[in-house]
Amino acid sequence: MNSFVDMTALLSRCRAPTGKVFLVGAGPGDPDLLTVRAARLLADADAVVYDHLVSDEVLELISADAERIYVGKERSNHSMAQRDINTLLVSLARAGRQVIRLKGGDPFVFGRGGEELQALAAEGITFEVVPGITAACGVASYAGIPLTHRDHAQACLFVTGHLKDGSCDLDWSALARARQTVVIYMGLGGLPEICKQLIAHGLPAGTPAAVVQQGTTLDQRVVSATLADLDARVAEAGLCSPCLIIVGEVVRLRDQLAWFGECAAGAATGVADAAIDAGLND
Ligand code: SAH
């Protein structure tokens, strides 16, 4: 009898412990925008698999004992293929690890979070999802651009401007409607085409539009202009990734509502402000 009990205990000890994957949104950059749940999980992490959009300030919140695994994901410079990331998550969980899969913004908004969970589900790995503030919400807030406003926009579309092989299959007619805001993720490379198509499909060339680089961080830069000249002004300012494009009448409200960074309303307008945040009042 005793030996049966001992054998059971031994077997259960030999069985691989079950790990779990937490798919966690890191928000757009400012670490104060993390959810309480995300901050708690990072402080108690065992292994963290993260991509390039996660800010250094957020990474600093990871437990010193945790193994950190960078898997990249810069456009056209993927440091690890999606298939390999999926395999890595499965094998860490199978090894009994409590794995945090940390992604910029919200993991279910242009973050391939769904694909990663499908791979885990297929392998019977347990998971949880912790939402994050997606770039559209965080970046627009810190740029002083309300995404909806009863006087200007009753709808808001989030789309990806990532153009495959130079071609773009966005539904331009749907994007070029009045009284809505369009937020374009991954659109910097396609900016000239995006502005051209929106005008060609009916939006006035004078429609206010902005590009926000590294929103919510101390390096945030905003170029606001019109669809007609946004591309030229962004090139002039030399903005680089990550950038979010916001198109619609609500962009005009930034003149009054900017509160963060160098262009905050009421702040002395310096040379940089004038050069970067120009266009709407021309
Ligand atoms: N899952 C993320 C989006 C990943 S796609 C989210 O929910 O926010 C990556 C794109 O998000 C970038 O190319 C850029 O368009 C946008 N983005 C993310 N963080 C940003 C930031 N701090 N400032 C501006 N754009 C940002």
The stretch 100-127 carries a mean pLDDT of 96
Please indicate whether residue 103 is annotated as part of the active site.
no
**With a 6 A CB cut-off, is 55 part of the ligand 1 pocket?**
no
CATH number for the domain that contains residue 109: 3.40.1010.10
SS3 256: helix
Query: Cβ(106) to ligand 1 under 6 A?
Result: yes
Residue 125 sits in the same domain as residue 147? no
The CATH number that applies at residue 169 is: 3.30.950.10
**Structural domain containing residue 75:** 12-130
73 assigned to active site: yes
Do residue 53 and residue 83 come from a single domain? yes
Q: What is the pLDDT of residue 15?
A: 46
5 within domain boundaries = no
Mean pLDDT of 212-233: 98
Task: Determine, yes or no, domain membership for 282.
Answer: no
The finding on whether 244 has its CB within 6 A of some atom of ligand 1 is: yes
| Last residue of one domain, picked from the residues 112, 130, 148 | 130
pLDDT for position 131: 98
Residue pointed to by tokens 């600093």: 60
Ligand 1 centroid–CA 160 distance in Å is 10
- Is the same domain home to 75 and 115? yes
CA of 27 to the centre of ligand 1 (A): 9
Residue 89 in domain? yes
By the 8 A CB rule, do 152 and 249 touch? yes
Burial environment of residue 24 by CB neighbours within 10 A (0 to 12, 13 to 18, 19 or more): buried
103: tokens are 């992604």
Q: In the predicted model, is pLDDT for residue 270 greater than 50?
A: no
C-alpha 28 – ligand 1 centre gap (Å): 7
Which of 130, 153, 168 corresponds to the end of one domain?
130
- Give pLDDT, residue 79: 72
Q: 178-201 b/e with 16+ CB inside 10 Å = b?
A: eebbbbbbbbbbbbebbbebbbee
Residue 266: is its pLDDT beyond 50? no
Number of domains in the chain: 2
208 lines ligand 1 (CB under 6 A): no
Give the pLDDT confidence of 138-181 residue by residue, as tens digits. 999 999 999 999 999 999 999 999 865 555 679 999 999 999 99
Task: Identify whether residues 98 and 58 lie together within a single domain.
Answer: yes
User: 84 and 211, same structural domain?
Assistant: no
Tell which atom from ligand 1 comes closest to the C-alpha of 184: 15
Last residue in a domain, options 115, 130, 145: 130
**Quick one: 267 and 235 in the same domain?**
yes
Q: Mean of the per-residue pLDDT values for the chain?
A: 88
Both tokens of 106, joined, read 């919200």
Question: Do 147 and 267 belong together in one domain?
Answer: yes
Q: Which of 217, 221, 141 is nearest to 183 (CA)?
A: 141
